A and B are shown apart, each in its own frame.
Chain A
């Protein structure tokens, strides 16, 4: 397992980048998980999660 972090201000594109990377690695047969510590809208929808075998966990606080 490799831990990769993507930091930045809210709305800067963290989720968008992670989604792209999950898709890239999924196509290469690699499995991903995401820990989200950002409050806000649910951005990892069920279709995306199922399509890429993604595990998503949320933790509250900052």
Chain B
């Protein structure tokens, strides 16, 4: 994440806190951002406004996992590492053996990943409870 983008993100968070102060502020970052960068940027805003942070959630795309693992492993693991919650998303679109492979490959990099399908609602409520 570039310095100007990080600065914009911090400024926007502070502005939203001061102007609206929502109960929840969701950040949907670029696909190229890793979790440690997000943590750093989130911490920067705490210098002059108060807010709670986390969880930092990383979704691992089930159907795209093969490509991510072979072509973008450093990025994928950079998003998995330091995440509070890792979830295999779109899990309804992959077979059970593919899901088992994903879990096996991630087991050295995170705690047991949650299995998620936002389309059919599987485990979405569990994520909400973790936030609440």
Between A and B, 29 residue pairs with Cβ closer than 8 Å are A1-B22, A3-B25, A4-B54, A5-B26, A5-B28, A5-B42, A5-B57, A7-B57, A8-B58, A9-B76, A11-B64, A12-B59, A13-B90, A13-B116, A13-B119, A14-B28, A14-B59, A16-B119, A17-B116, A17-B127, A20-B121, A21-B26, A30-B23, A31-B22, A33-B22, A35-B25, A39-B30, A61-B8, A62-B33
Q: Which of B1-22 contact A (CB under 8 A)?
A: 1-2, 4-5, 8-9, 12-13, 16-17, 20-22
Measured between alpha carbons, how far is A25 from B60 in the docked complex, in Å?
Answer: 24
Q: B89 and A12: CB pair below 8 A? A: yes
Which chain B residues have a beta carbon within 8 Å of chain A's beta carbons?
Answer: 1-2, 4-5, 8-9, 12-13, 16-17, 20-35, 38, 42, 45, 51-61, 64, 68, 72, 76, 79, 83, 89-90, 116, 118-119, 121, 124-125, 127-128, 131-132
Question: Which residues from B are CB-within-8-Å of A8?
Answer: 31, 58-61, 79, 89
Most buried by B among A6, A11, A25, A55: A6
For A11, the chain B residues whose CB sits under 8 A away are: 61, 64
Interface residues on A, range: 35 or more
- Contacting B at CB under 8 A, from A3-52, are 3-22, 24-25, 28, 30-39
Q: Report chain B residues within 8 Å CB of A33.
A: 16, 20, 22, 24-26
Residues from chain B with a CB closer than 8 A to the CB of A10 are 31
Contacts of A30 in B (CB 8 A): 23-24
- Known contacts A6-B26, A35-B26: A13-B124 contact under CB 8 Å: no
Say what secondary structure dominates the interface of chain B.
mixed
> Whose C-beta in chain B lies nearest to the C-beta of A32?
B24
Contact of B9 among A6, A16, A25, A37 (CB under 8 A): A37
